[in-house]
Amino acid sequence: MAIKRCAIVITGASGDLAHKKLIPALDVLYSRNEICDSCIVVGTGRKPFTDEEFRRSFHVSEKFAQRIYYHQFFSGLKDFIESKGEFSRIVIFFALPPVAYETTARNLYEEGFRNGVSIVIEKPFGYDLQSAKKLDKELSSCFNESQIFRIDHYLAKEAVQNIMVFRFSNPLFYPVWNSRFIESIQINAVEQATITQRGAYFDSAGIIRDMIQNHLLQLLALLTMEAPVSLNAEDIRIQKINLLKTVSIEECFRYQYEGYKLENGVDSDSDTETLAEMKLKINNFRWATTPVYIRTGKAVHRTGTEIGVKFKEVPKILYNEKGKLDQNKVIFKIQPAEGIVVDISTRAPGTESEINRSFMNYCMRDNYSGFIPEAYQRLLMDVLKGDHTLFVSAAETEVSWQLLDNILDKGELTLYKKGSLPAGKTDASWIDFDKYSNLCMY
């Protein structure tokens, strides 16, 4: 059903997020008739624009541009929206620095935005456990939890949504998804780029806050949680929270690439990590003896995000008498190419017992030719529908911060060269993810 009679407000509307992500995503949704003519988009901010000046700053269809308006500051914003028609719902997107969230929520509340209003905020949701609790308290003093949508754009990636389907709809894998059969779980999220233009933000955060606290712990929860009783957003959240409460960090090592301190916006004495490696333990019956390894960082040799599930070795008999047979693996390719790879052993044709590695691939680009929404298109549509499934709750953010609170900004830094992946310090026998990097590529 197309969305009708909704006012979409973008605060900080002259910034990059509105121009690069939000307005283009809404333009696509409008062109696909998922948003009706009875909906409007209102930008607001400190800069003065006429409606026409504001519209001309975006590369959108002429018809959609006529649904875009601008109002300077918050004062009178509610009356301005009401002057454009009757709307059953108002969605307000905070395209602002996180430091402005609390003040913005209070200003909107005092302006009269209360019932029938939803607010959408981007990560980071706080800086540590204490600040996350403070932020949640301030937001909840103005809006209840059902009105707050916390975006983690990783959750909107098609490959991430496929994790639950893979686990819970395939009896081939569901019975072996536990410590009895799985040796280790490995999450690898690396990037060739440096911090580029994000120096000031990144230096105050670091890779643990930027990637692990939100994106990668969410991936871990989806991969290892118990089956929810339904696909209702709250039932899924309950299982993710239950899983995250059982996780503990056994080891954490921090690294920094050479030349990081010379980047724009970075303190010359910075001890911020640009790469981190962790060993975690899940303290429940399903996963108690299966270690989890997380590695994420910038300025390495390639870009890619993958989850590797490594199965235990077969006994040293038959084809594995010498104990050299590679283990089976399931590789979830999250980006840049989406897909699932099952790595198995097969007999080489024309030989008596020579074993080859064979890949059984599901590549999204090859298996689906229809429209695949970009992450913000999916997230915005879900907000307009009021669907919280792909959004993070206050309880999830707080339990994630609680897990990391004791290791943030602690431990010595090891330098590594740009363009290289430093040798790990945990006991992980890391999957060679590079071997799978070309699979499913466009």
Residue 44 near residue 108, CB atoms below 8 Å: no
Residue 198's alpha-carbon distances to 98, 206, 210, 264, in angstroms, are 14, 11, 11, 8
Task: Check residue 390 and give its pLDDT.
Answer: 86
Write out the CATH class of domain 6-122: alpha beta
The active-site residue out of 19, 71, 153, 215 is 215
Task: Check residue 270 and give its pLDDT.
Answer: 94
Task: Check residue 396 and give its pLDDT.
Answer: 93
Residue ranges, CATH 3.40.50.720, the chain: 6-122
Model pTM score:
0.91
65 phi-psi bin (left φ>0, alpha ψ -120 to 50, beta other): alpha
Residue 103, token pair as written in the block: 């003040």
Residue ranges, CATH 3.30.360.10, the chain: 155-373+392-436
- Beta strands (DSSP E) in 47-132 are 68-72, 89-94, 117-122
Helices and strands (H and E) in the chain: how many: 15, 16
Write the pLDDT tens digit of every residue in 57-95: 888 888 989 999 999 988 999 999 999 988 989 999 998
Task: Check residue 349 and give its pLDDT.
Answer: 85
Spans of the chain, pLDDT less than 70: none
Which CATH code fits 155-373+392-436? 3.30.360.10
Task: Check residue 60 and give its pLDDT.
Answer: 87
Query: CB-based contacts of 148: which residues, under 8 Å, 6+ apart?
Result: 118, 119, 121, 139, 140, 394
Name which of 253, 136, 262, 153 is nearest 211 in CA terms. 153
Write the pLDDT tens digit of every residue in 331-372: 999 989 889 999 998 888 878 778 888 889 888 878 777 777
Name which of 167, 170, 15, 166 is nearest 93 in CA terms. 15
Task: Check residue 171 and give its pLDDT.
Answer: 92
Give the three-state DSSP class for 436: helix
d(CA 330, CA 338): 14
- Cis before 349? omega within 30: no
Task: Check residue 116 and give its pLDDT.
Answer: 86
* 19 is a catalytic site residue: no
